[in-house]
A and B are shown apart, each in its own frame.
Chain A
């Protein structure tokens, strides 16, 4: 379904500035998002990522600059922090229905896309971080959006779940052919599933393909120090996990879940 609509601009911003209480949050930010591509905003805390996203969505007014949104565009939005108060009794089903009128089949279908169909009748407050983020993604997909805007979609998700979640986001994008605008603070996690990275720290420091960005001096200036002294711990896995945490064997491995005997002995 991802088709030739590839180059159509869905959202763009020209020379955005945003100042609140004398504090400059965004300065001269220009960007555009096209159909079928995934753009990831990265930057340290306080870099203005969430402000930029909220301005692009029309939830906030920029102090300066121009915003273009394709007329009639439908946006599926996953906000950064979503806490549902326990006083509101809400099953996943009821939560999805806040997005509009849908029948049972449509709800099950959208949950299947994110592998959460078994949770349809569960109270949202009982879901784990990873499950909740997937349900949020499902809700954002319900209205067949042209653009998915995901603000830190992997927050509260463990490291294995994060990779699986970014995979799901990629599949969903390919299936729906929509544009994706993501916010993340970890380049390495999103590298595989993103086409273009925008490194933001009040202004746009650098932008480009994830491989180029990871070696870009501006990127290293911001993130380099944070990485120093963090020796990467890499090790080999003989199995992987699906979205439910079940062990699934890697291709060519016929003994799932079995660690090599003696590896942990002194």
Chain B
């Protein structure tokens, strides 16, 4: 007999894996891992602002994502500092600011739990949230499919994409919005601090067994789903924290693919 909360957790985890796996491939191809991390860290600030304004947390996360991207774009205009340094500055200052705002809100809104946001609280997910997550998943995957060729094109070379008539800034911006939405959904599952893992580990694992972009995206989705199922299983039977268990399962999968692909 399996309890409802475990089924709910599985459903929520799979919904997230279905978007995190495919979008993670673009993150890996475009070397955006650190950007994803920054987006995730700043999400706490977004959640805190949304809660204090009594809005849905996802709105706060997407809003902060847009602000962050604009800030990064502005900072990159002067070229003394490289993108990874700027991201490091933004990432940690956004997290620190988020923690401060959160502590202020905590005094006013009882029952709001910082740890649930930092490390996920997938076992507490309810059915309404699951319905929303699947609507979100379908929406994100549709936009992803619509932008697919442009996304590959700008991953290969932005100048060439631009001469082909692709609106590169628009594609980048929309992808950033999708990423912010995935991160907002992932907070509930693995938490702010571990979100990036679910984006890059399945994609990296899928690379060794893929010879086309489509294969890599499908395989990455499959890897992410497996990590969620295995992680939640381990969490349920061994009483481990769910979010970290999912990430460790993904990491084990990665090292396993390394070993098997080295043999082939």
- Cα(A58)–Cα(B159), bound, Å: 10
Which of these binds chain B: A81-89, A106-114, A165-173?
A81-89
How far is the CB of B175 from the nearest CB of chain A, in Å? 15
Check A100 for interface membership: any CB of B closer than 8 A. yes
Q: Contacts A89-B215, A90-B212 known; A77 to B29 CB distance under 8 Å?
A: no
Q: Contacts A87-B29, A89-B215 known; A98 to B152 CB distance under 8 Å?
A: yes
How far is the CB of A25 from the nearest CB of chain B, in Å? 15
- Cα(A98)–Cα(B156), bound, Å: 8
Check B242 for interface membership: any CB of A closer than 8 A. no
Please, how many residues of chain A have a CB less than 8 angstroms from a CB on the other chain?
A: 26
Set A75, A76, A91: member contacting B211, Cβ < 8 A: A91
Contact with A along B210-247 (1 / 0, CB 8 A): 11110110000000000000000000000000000000
Q: Hey, which chain A residues are within 8 Å of B159, CB to CB? A: 54, 57, 59, 77, 79
Say yes or no: B164 contacts A100, CB within 8 Å.
yes
Q: Contacts A90-B156, A94-B152 known; A59 to B163 CB distance under 8 Å?
A: yes
Say yes or no: A97 contacts B149, CB within 8 Å.
yes
Say yes or no: A89 contacts B210, CB within 8 Å.
yes
Say yes or no: B29 contacts A85, CB within 8 Å.
yes
- B14-59 residues with Cβ-Cβ distance < 8 A to A are 28-29, 31
Say yes or no: B211 contacts A123, CB within 8 Å.
yes
- Cα(A79)–Cα(B160), bound, Å: 7
Check A143 for interface membership: any CB of B closer than 8 A. yes
Check A223 for interface membership: any CB of B closer than 8 A. no
Check A159 for interface membership: any CB of B closer than 8 A. no
Say yes or no: B213 contacts A77, CB within 8 Å.
no
Q: Hey, which chain A residues are within 8 Å of B149, CB to CB? A: 97-98, 100
Q: Hey, which chain B residues are within 8 Å of A75, CB to CB? A: 163
**What residue in chain B is nearest A86 (Cβ atoms)?**
B207
How far is the CB of A120 from the nearest CB of chain B, in Å? 12
Check A99 for interface membership: any CB of B closer than 8 A. yes
B residues with a Cβ closer than 8 A to A are 28-29, 31, 149, 152-153, 155-157, 159-164, 204, 207, 210-213, 215-216
